Structure 1
C-alpha cells in the first residue's frame, strides 16, 4: 500500500514539475535577480552620482517638497521615498492627479539627495523589470500573467510536497552524491539542492500564492462584499484599515513645516527610521501628512503617523499590526520580498533562490536523462523527449544569456532612442528566442557546450563593455568604494567563470566519450582482422 502510494506520488511529482518547469525556472531566476533589483537599477543608470554621505532626513524631505511644489502644485497627492541601504542614491518623488485627467497628471522623478535637483538617467527597465517579470511575466495581459504564475506556483507546491513524500530520507539524500553515474548523479544533485534550501522553497512558493489570493479567490470575497469596483474597494479599505478621507476644501493654506513632524516621528521610532512621506491635498486646508516607518523585520506593513497638514497636530497613529490575520499575511509577504534584509541576509536569499533555480533545472534535465537511458533498450527517441531536451537547453542556459543580453542592450542602445527601455526588454526576448531555436539545428551535446561558452562570453565580457561605454567601470568603483557597482561587475565575472567551468567540463566529457567510442571501434576492428585458426 505504501509503495503504491509513493509510486503515485512519484508520478505526480514528475509531471507537476515538468509541465510548467520552464515557467517556474523563469519565475525563480528573475525573482532571484529581483533581490538585488535596486543594485541592478544603479548599474543600469550609470549617470547617477556615486553614493554621498548621508543627508539629514529633514533636509532631504524639504528639498523633495520644494521640487514637488514647483512640479505639481495642484496634485491630489505627493509621495517621497527616502534612499534605502540597498544602494539607492536618489530621492524618489511622485505625484498623483485627480478627476478625469488623473492618469495624465501622474508623474515621478528621482532627485539628487544633496541638491534636490532632478536626476536625468537613461530610460531603462532596470532591475525592477526583472523583478516584475517573476510575477507579471511580459507581453501578456496582467490578469492572465497572475493566473499563469499562480497555477505554476501551485504546481511547484505540489511538486515540493510530493517530493518530500517520495524522498523520505532527507539527511541520507543530502549527504549522497554519486559522481559520473549518469541518471543517479542527476538524481542526487536534484535531491541535494532540494533539501539544502527546503524551508525557503516552501516559504517562497506558498507566500507567492498568498500575494494574489484575492484574485484566485474572488468569488469568496464577492460572496460577502458583492461584485463591482465599489465592493472591491470596500473590501480593501477594510483589509487595510483605511479611514474615510476628508474631501478637498479647495481653500489655499500653506503646508505646515515638516521638521517638527519628522522630529516627532523619529522620537517615536528612532533617528533615521523614516521611510517615506505622503501628503494628501498639499496646500489645501484639508491637507494631511502621513509618515511611514522603515521596516526592521519581515512584517511588510509598518507603523504610520498621520498629521494635520495645516496645524501639524497628530491625528492618529496606525500600528504595524492592525489585525492578527492581516499580520500573518503581511509577514508572509514580507518574508517573500525580503525588503527588510540587510546585505548578508539578502545574499542568503539570493543563494537560496539560486539553489531553487538549479533544483528546477536538474529536475528538467533528470527527466530527459532518465528517458535517454531507457532508449538504450527501446529504440528511437520520441518527439516529446526531443522537444524537452531542446527546451531545457534554450531555457536553462538560454535564459541567463538573454538576461545578459538585457544588460548589454542597456550599454549599447543610444540614450536618445525612443522607447529605449522597451527595446532593452525586446533585446532580452529576441536573444532568448535565438537560444530556443539554436538547439533545433545542433546535436544536443554540442548545443549545451556552445550555449555555455556563449554564456561565458556574454557574462565575462560585460565588465569590459561597461568600462568601454561608461566611466563607472570596476577599477573606478573599487577606488570610490562603490561596492554596489563593483559587486555587480564582480558577480558577472563569477557567472562567466561558472559557465566557463561548465562548458569546459562538458567539452572534456564529450571528448572522452568520443575517444572511448573510437577505442572500442578500433578494438572491434582488430578483433575482426585476426585470422581464424
Structure 2
C-alpha cells in the first residue's frame, strides 16, 4: 500500500488505465463512430433522401406487406429520416422452428426513392460499429460483460484521475509544446478536464442500461427470466383481442388522415414526424395500429406513441412508467444521443474523439515515464540483463500501442473502402446480389486490424509506426478521392457565393444537398489531414526519439 491516499489513487489510476487502456480505446473509438451510424450507413450504401411524403412511404410499405406477409401477427415499418436511417419492413413468421426457438424475424430494406425492395441491407455500414462497441462481436460469449467491466474501469480511472490531476485550472491552461514528453502529459490533463462529464455520463449509462444483466440475482429469484421482468415493468398499449375475421379492405393510411392531423399536426406527412408504424393482427378486422413519433425532442429512448383501432378509434394512452425505468430510459437516450441536432451531434463526436485521445495519451505517458527511468538506470550501469529485459517489454508495449491505435483506424478505413467497392461491384453487375458478399466487409475489418498489429510487432518501432501512418493516409485519401469523383461535391465547389445558400437549402425539392454525406466527407477530410501531419512529423523525427539510449549489451557486461 502507498504511503498516502493520493499516491494510492495515482497508482490505481495508472494500472487500471494500463490494464484496460487498449480495450477502452477500441470501445470509445467505435462508440464515437456510432454517433454517425445512420450517416455512415447512408454514405456507404450511396443512399438518397426520399422525395416522397411519409404517407406515401407508409402506404407503399403496407402494400408490400399485404403481398409478402399475409400470414403474420405483426408488421413493423421503419421510416427514413433526415439522418439517412433505413426504410424497411419487418415481420416474424408465424410457425415456430421445430427446436422450440422463436420464429425467424424477416427484415427487408426498401429504396426510399424507387420504393422497391433492395438488398443494400447486406452492407452493415455504421450499425457494425454500434453493435461492436458494446458486444465486441462476442454477443454469445459475454461481450457485454467485458464492455461493462471496461466501463467500470473507466469510472475508476476518472475518479482516481481527479486526485492525480487535482489542480484542474493550472493543468488545463498549461501546454508545453516545445517539450514532447511534457506536452503529452499536459494534453492528457487538459483532455481529462474537458471530458470528465462526458465520460462519466457514457460509462454510468452503460451500467444503468445493462443493470439487470450485471445484477441478475434478484431477477433469478423473483422472475423466470429477464424478458419476464421486462414485460412486467414496461408499459405499452393494451392489445386488442382479434375478431378472428379477415378484413375486407387492406389498411391504407389515407383512411386515418383526419385522426393523424389532429394528433400530429397539419402537414405531418411532409416532415420527419413519424419514426415508424407497428400493426398487430394486420389482416384481422380488429387490427391495432401504433404510430411512433420521432425522438427528436426526447431525452428518453422510448418514443411517444398513439394507438388507433382499424376503425379509426383513438385507443387509450399508455400508462406512465415507474421512475427507475424512466431514469434508465433517459440515460439510454443520453448514451445514444438520438435527440441531438447536427451541431450537438458534432460536439458529442468531438468529445468522444477527445476521450479516445485521452486514453491513448495515458498509455503513451506510462511508457514514456518508464523509458526515461530506464535510460537513467542504463547510465548508472545497473545489471545489464535486467535492463535488457525491461527494454524488451517497453518496446513490446510501444509496438502494441502503434498496432492497436493506428491499426484500428486503418481497419475502419479499410472497412469503409471495402463497403464502397462491394456496392460498386454489385451495381455494375459483377455479382448477382449483395447477399453473396454479406460479411466480407467485417472480415476485412478484423483481418486488417490483425495484420496491422503483426506488422507493428515485426518491424522496428519507428518503421512500423511510419508504415501504419502511410497506409492510413493512403486508405482515407482513396476514400476521399472516390467521394470527390462520385458525389456532387465538385458541383458545390463550382457554385458562386450567391448560389451556395440556395443550393444548400434545396433539400425540400430535389434533395441535391445531402447533409449526412457532407458530414461524413467533412470528417474524412480532417482525418486525411491528421494522418498527413502525423506522417510528416514521424519522418522528420530522428530515429533515436523512441527511448533514451542504453549502453550496448557487451559494454554493460564488462
- The TM-score by the shorter chain falls in which range? 0.7 to 0.9
User: Is 1:236 the counterpart of 2:230 in the alignment?
Assistant: yes
Q: State the SS of the aligned residue for 1:315.
A: coil
TM-score by length of 1: 0.87
Question: In structure 1, which of residues 68, 76, 79 is the aligned counterpart of residue 76 of structure 2?
Answer: 79
Match in the other structure for 2:303: 302
Secondary structure of the residue that 1:279 maps to in structure 2?
Answer: strand
Q: Residue in 2 aligned with 1:369?
A: 368
Deviation digits for residues 66-110 of structure 1 (CA, Å, limit 9, x no counterpart): 11111111122111112112134x522111222314866532222
Aligned counterpart in structure 2 of residue 507 of structure 1, from 535, 539, 558: 539
Contact kept? 2:240, 2:288, Cα under 8 Å: no
The match for 1:402 is 411
Q: Tell me which residue corresponds to 2:517.
A: 485
Q: Secondary structure at the match of 1:291?
A: strand
Instruction: Decide which moves more: 77-86 or 25-34.
Output: 77-86
Q: Is the 8 A contact 1:97 1:105 kept in 2?
A: yes
Question: Gaps (5+ residues) in structure 2?
Answer: 378-386, 495-511, 550-558
Root-mean-square deviation (CA, aligned residues, Å) is 2.7
Residues 1:458 and 2:475 are matched in the alignment: yes
Q: Which runs of 5+ in 1 are unaligned?
A: 518-533
- 1:241-320 alignment, distance < 5 Å: 241-242=235-236, 245=239, 248-253=242-247, 254-255=249-250, 257-259=252-254, 261=256, 263-270=258-265, 271=268, 272=271, 273-295=273-295, 296-309=297-310, 311-318=311-318
1:408-462 deviations in Å (ceiling 9; x for gaps): 2113344336652311111111111111011222221232222122211111121
Name the CA distance, whole Å, in 2 between partners of 1:371 and 1:113.
Answer: 57
Q: 1:266 to 1:335 in 2, by over 3 A?
A: farther
Return the offset for 1:331.
0.8
Once the two structures are superposed, the pairs formed by residues 100-249 of structure 1 within 5 Å of their partners are 100-101=96-97, 106-113=105-112, 115-121=114-120, 123-138=122-137, 140-225=138-223, 228-229=224-225, 232-242=226-236, 245=239, 248-249=242-243
CA contact (8 A) 1:40 1:126 kept: yes
TM-score, structure 2 as length reference: 0.84
| CA–CA distance in structure 2, aligned partners of residues 338 and 186 of structure 1 | 30
The answer as to 2:94 corresponding to 1:98 is: yes
CA-CA distance at 1:216 after TM superposition: 0.5
The secondary structure found in structure 1 opposite 2:84 is coil
* Separation in 2, partners of 1:265, 1:36: 30
Alpha-carbon shift at residue 269 of structure 1 (Å): 4.1
| Alpha-carbon contact 2:71-2:94 (below 8 Å) kept | no
Q: Partner of 1:20: helix, strand, or coil?
A: helix
What SS does structure 2 have at the residue aligned with 1:461? helix
- Does residue 30 of structure 2 align to residue 13 of structure 1? no
Residue aligned with 1:51, SS: coil
| Deviation readout 1:290-317 (Å, 9 max, x if unpaired) | 11121112121122112223x2212221
* Shift in alpha-carbon separation, 1:216–1:67, aligned structure 2, 3 A: same
Distance 1:312 1:255 in 2: 14
Other structure's SS at 2:228 match: helix
Instruction: Report the CA distance shift for 1:206/1:455 in structure 2 as closer, same or farther (over 3 A).
Output: same
Bigger mean CA offset, 108-117 vs 365-374: 108-117
User: Offset of 1:170 from its aligned partner?
Assistant: 1.3
Contact 1:42–1:485 at 8 Å: present in 2 too? yes
Decide which moves more: 96-105 or 449-458: 96-105
Secondary structure of 1:285's aligned partner: coil
> Secondary structure at the residue paired with 2:361?
helix
Q: Per-residue CA shift, 1:97-134, capped at 9, x if unaligned? A: 22314866532222244553223437312111111110
1:467, distance to aligned residue in structure 2 (A): 6.0
